[in-house]
Amino acid sequence: MAVDATLPYDEQNIFAKILRGEIPNRTVYEDDFALAFHDINPQAPTHVLVIPKGAYVCWDDFSAKATEAEIAGFVRAVGKVARDLGLVAPGYRLLANTGTDSHQEVPHLHVHLFAGQPLGPMLVR
């Protein structure tokens, strides 16, 4: 079910549990600001989720409230993950669903990183 991105942060969301180590994940990259792991239900040959370590519901929450260090750290981590996976030359797509109309399902900010084949049009028509 899509989440209301204006609600307060829910400490019991699935990505909070992953960050606390309560649920396993296939980690691709981790540093002080971000964790990257394979999506459990991949929509492309490469489908990695990158999440900030801080408790932010969505892009809106993060962009409004995160510190400069958190924002810089997270953005750099997304770029590094793509670079380390060799995705810059073939290309990749980033996506951050935010709120109901976007169909965000997990209320902890995550950037989807899709790659590994031509990705087609941006949105279903």
- Least Å distance, CB 93 to ligand 5GP, is 13
Binding segment for ligand 5GP among 35-43, 62-70, 75-83, 115-123 (CB under 6 A)? 35-43
The answer to whether the CB of 98 falls within 8 A of the CB of 58 is yes
**Residue 107 buriedness (CB in 10 A; 0-12 / 13-18 / 19+):** buried
SS3 assignment, position 123:
coil
Sheet holding 46-52, edge to edge: 27-30, 34-38, 46-52, 111-115, 92-95
Q: One symbol per residue from 86 to 125: x for binding ligand 5GP (CB under 6 A), - otherwise; what is it?
A: -----------x-----xxxx-------------------
Binding of residue 14 to ligand 5GP (CB under 6 A):
yes
Name the burial class of residue 21, with classes exposed (0-12), middle (13-18) and buried (19+) by CB atoms within 10 angstroms of its CB.
exposed
Q: To the nearest whole angstrom, how small is the minimum distance from the Cβ of residue 1 to ligand 5GP?
A: 10
Name the token pair of 61. Answer: 């929450």
* 46 belongs to the binding site for ligand 5GP (CB under 6 A): no
- Active site includes 110? yes
Shortest reach from residue 68's CB to ligand 5GP, in Å: 25
Would you name the residues annotated as active-site residues? 110
Interacting residue ranges for ligand 5GP, rule: CB under 6 A: 14, 23, 25, 37-41, 49, 97, 103-106
